[in-house]
Amino acid sequence: MKFGHHGGNHPVKDMDRNVVMITAQNHGFAVDEDSLPANLRVTHKSLFDGTLQGIHRTDKPAFSFQGHPEASPGPHDAAPLFDHFIELIEQYRQSAK
């Protein structure tokens, strides 16, 4: 990544839902998609340069997003990230009973 992503208007594609969300970014690095182990799948990609912006573990209830969803540059674009986090917590709580 030559310059990084900085600003509040970065389009990122949610690969699972096939939608674009406008995100806030402030980072100078990205994970190389080719380096991902088998238990990680790509969930988000930058539409500026195709870099990896999100991953999800397939073997554990964990995911990561490269950006600042709390900044909400789009009205509610990042809300599904928070919804998914809550879903994972609730699933874990149910499985622990």
**Which domain does 82 fall in, by range?**
5-95
Q: How many domains does the chain have?
A: 1
Q: Predicted confidence band at 49 (pLDDT cuts at 50, 70, 90)?
A: very high
Q: Identify the bridge partners of residue 27 per DSSP, sorted by sequence position.
A: 5
pTM of the model: 0.88
Position 46 pLDDT exceeds 90: yes
pLDDT, greater one: 19 or 4: 19
Burial class from Cβ neighbours inside 10 Å (0-12, 13-18, 19+) for residue 7 reads: exposed
CATH number at residue 51: 3.40.50.880
- Distance CA(95)–CA(87), nearest Å, equals 12
